[in-house]
Amino acid sequence: MLSSFYHKLTKINSLVAAISCIILLFVTFSIFVDVILRYFFGSPSTWITEVSTYLFLYIIFFGTPYALQQGLHVKVTFLLDRFSTRKIRVLNLVTSILATIFAMVLLWQTSIMTWTAFKEKWTSPTMLSVPYSWIYVAMVIGSFLLLLTFLCEAILSFKGKS
């Protein structure tokens, strides 16, 4: 059952990472257009910098669960080369448990912040006046997917299937 759930989770993580890539393309293109407008036409945009800054949260939080499931996160491998396979499994289990605790705290705190922003109608103090809840929701979604991925990794590692 866990393998089936994890398989579905990897599909969701891949979809969310694809959305992250599309947002990254949009941000890159927008900044390129803004540079052209600013330096060649002397008419910079009023929204690209602010929107790009907010969209970086989506890029980071939507890409992180996928990076975890693919093993693309940073590792200190020169130490792992000295350990046996069993010790590496134990080390992976311990780090997965600690990372799961971190992801739980991250989800908890981002949820509180997002709910407060929604409830109190926080908006950016700029001309666009963007609702912060729409920005912060990316952190909640990403943290939730990261937590689920870490949990699955920890359980599969404990069972010796990872």
Instruction: For 53-102, write each residue's pLDDT tens digit.
Output: 999 999 999 999 999 999 887 777 777 788 888 888 788 788 888 999 99
Radius of gyration of the chain (CA): 20
Q: What are the residue ranges spanned by the domains of the chain?
A: 2-159
Structure tokens at 32: 């390129």
- pLDDT-derived band at 153 (thresholds 50, 70, 90) equals confident
Instruction: For 91-109, write each residue's pLDDT tens digit.
Output: 878 888 899 999 999 999 9
